[in-house]
Structure 1
């Protein structure tokens, strides 16, 4: 496989000292009857801007792009809590080896991915270097194998597929629905495990737990199921609480870590999807909510096109330029609407048929 890396870049002001990027290129093997392709992988991750924090705090987002057996694994991990950066880095550093081991035990990549996530969750609980009682990470990954992509996800980071039709028009399709208490199935699951679902304000005021209809109406009114704009929900989104406790308070229902949250249904078992590659499939991007809180998938698509990254003959830097543009735009929008910004991460995998 070919591998190409591009050095870290610098942007103006905050982005100058707080963003890292990488670029890699791989040639994948194909199944009999399918065509080989080249994967151009780029990533950018920027530390959030938190004026209230002391200088020297870390980026709680991490990402990976690595070769696993004869395929490529890419993923985004958005940490949270006091040890969120440790949790995200732990998953980033461990996932490749664990997945490779699990694939020897479970031949199907879907099973291997599911077991990998759950193994990492258990290993996180036993770590001596950090405490995941109230810390953890999201994890959205894509394994590009022979003729297919296997996706796995816990939390509210996102994976999106981009394709082009015969007329040359591009479109995007989300691969998962965020695992949050806004989802009826997830809300019912954590409640069955003993959780109460309330906003932060409701919990702090000692309010009565709203019924499911309340959250359905709130989701419709505030656009919680929209492609972007979830930033406006901050403070009012449903969270997972232990009865009578002010924790864990997670705004998601699945994660790796969050040992306390497991008592009330916050689990490390991922949703897994196998996608058969088709003619016209051109890219996959994965991102933390630092991106999708403000930027729609369509806008990301536009920036990928504007960077020229979908031209098979384009230089490697075009995929990287697209990631840089997304990070810069997300940061601009955060600082336009707030005095701070979240950590911002995107991984882009361009699929070039040969």
Structure 2
């Protein structure tokens, strides 16, 4: 792993609400492709503060006069954009550069946040397709973002096979449902949008405007019999790690071969039912006050690591509570994922992980073994 081909965002601290604070950091590592003469990192990552998602609205002030109010869509937004295809890097970069601004625009004027958030992905898709033109025919990007609002709600939008995972601490002796974490229950807030999913295949068949078919590479080459019995591809299942996953092809052709069912760009894939409409989910920190971590990461992390294995790394650094814990965890997750690629493949995908550690500001809400002292002082120091 070439550390010189790595982007890092140092840990920053944020006040999410009156009850929770967060420390956020990310690490984005270029992969390794021995048989390519030239390779660029097609992953892109970002965090945005509330002021970067602000918009102005016309209001009536307390004296009945017309005025302008500046409103923020949320406290913190984190996002990962995983490009693919010949021009995937450009697609991912455009998506990253326009997402926060587009989100602010789509939620202006009191528009419902959930609807505006979902429209943002479709609007960003339109920008990418317009700017890239024909270069978006077989290139695009996945996109996953997590928006933390000022009331302690995390809203996740996702197109593609990146993933958002949370770790919720349980009291000593309470089963956590996996063999990797010590005290953290691990939950996926997203469902990988791949051709393994029968519901997604059904949706694509209904929405496709061109003849299409689902097949593995082996089926396309005539090496295996054609069928759609692909398994479920659920996180942690054997199918998830399949060397020859199902893909969508234009009927009678060997393209585009998209393994994902939703994305930004990919204009040819769009005619086959590949969608830019995200799947949305919400997670209320107030209902789960012992939530300790949210990880948003590209599929480079999860190709050979489960959600629980990933969260176990984060748990270790959270419990140590050292300076820069979130940044250390992001680096460790990326290193572990890269090592798995080396064990299982001659290449390694680009790998990106955003780690958000959650800290309760009200001690009554915490069952954690970690005690965060002088949180306000820590926040002030980290924000300098």
Q: Please tell me the TM-score bracket, short chain as reference.
A: 0.7 to 0.9
Say if 1:29 and 1:271 are closer, same or farther in 2 by CA, change over 3 A: same
**1:147 pairs with 2:156:** no
Is the contact made by 1:106 and 1:112 (CA closer than 8 Å) also made in structure 2? Answer: no
CA distance in 2, matches of 1:38, 1:337: 38
Match of 2:107, SS?
helix
Separation in 2 of the partners of 1:348 and 1:201? 37
1:262 equivalent in structure 2? 270
Match of residue 375 from structure 2:
none
SS of the aligned residue for 1:215 comes to coil
The answer to whether the 8 A contact 2:293-2:314 is kept is: no
Q: Structure 1 residue 302: deviation in Å?
A: 1.9
Which residue in 2 is equivalent to 1:23?
Answer: 10
Structure 1 unaligned regions, length at least 5: 1-13
1:82-123 deviation line (CA, Å, top 9, x unaligned): 011111111111101000111115633211211100001111
1:63 is matched with which residue? 45
Q: Closer, same or farther in 2 for the Cα pair 1:186/1:295, shift >3 Å?
A: same
The residue that corresponds to 1:93 in the other structure is 97
Structure 1 or 2, whichever has the larger Rg, is 2
Describe the superposition over 1:231-278 as per-residue Cα deviations: whole angstroms up to 9, x where unpaired. Answer: 7412x2110111112211100110010001111100100001122222
Q: Tell me what 1:233 maps to.
A: 242
**1:116-153 alpha-carbon deviations (Å, 9 max, x no partner):** 00001111111058811100111111000022011000
Number of residue-to-residue matches in the alignment = 324
Provide the C-alpha distance between the structure 1 equivalents of 2:133 and 2:214, rounded to a whole number of angstroms: 31
Q: Which moved more, 1:35-44 or 1:172-181?
A: 35-44
Query: How much has 1:38 moved relative to structure 2?
Result: 1.5
CA distance in structure 2 between the aligned counterparts of 1:191 and 1:130, rounded to whole angstroms: 24
Equivalent position to 1:321, from 312, 319, 328: 328
Is 1:73 aligned to 2:77, yes or no? yes
**Range with greater deviation from structure 2 (290-299 or 198-207):** 198-207
TM-score (norm 2): 0.79
Distance (whole Å) between structure 2 residues aligned to residue 241 and residue 352 of structure 1: 46
In structure 2, the partner of 1:37 is 20
What secondary structure, in the 3-state scheme, does the structure 2 residue paired with 1:121 have?
A: helix
Q: CA deviation at 1:229?
A: 6.3
Q: Is residue 255 of structure 2 the alignment partner of residue 247 of structure 1?
A: yes
What secondary structure is seen at the aligned counterpart in 2 of 1:227? coil
Of 80, 84, 101, the residue aligned with 2:88 is: 84
Per the TM alignment, residue 300 of structure 1 is displaced from its structure 2 partner at its CA by 1.7
User: Residue in 2 aligned with 1:304?
Assistant: 314
- In structure 2, the partner of 1:204 is 221
Q: TM-score, normalised by structure 1?
A: 0.86
Alignment of 1:115-154 (within 5 A): 115-128=119-132, 131-145=135-149, 146-154=151-159
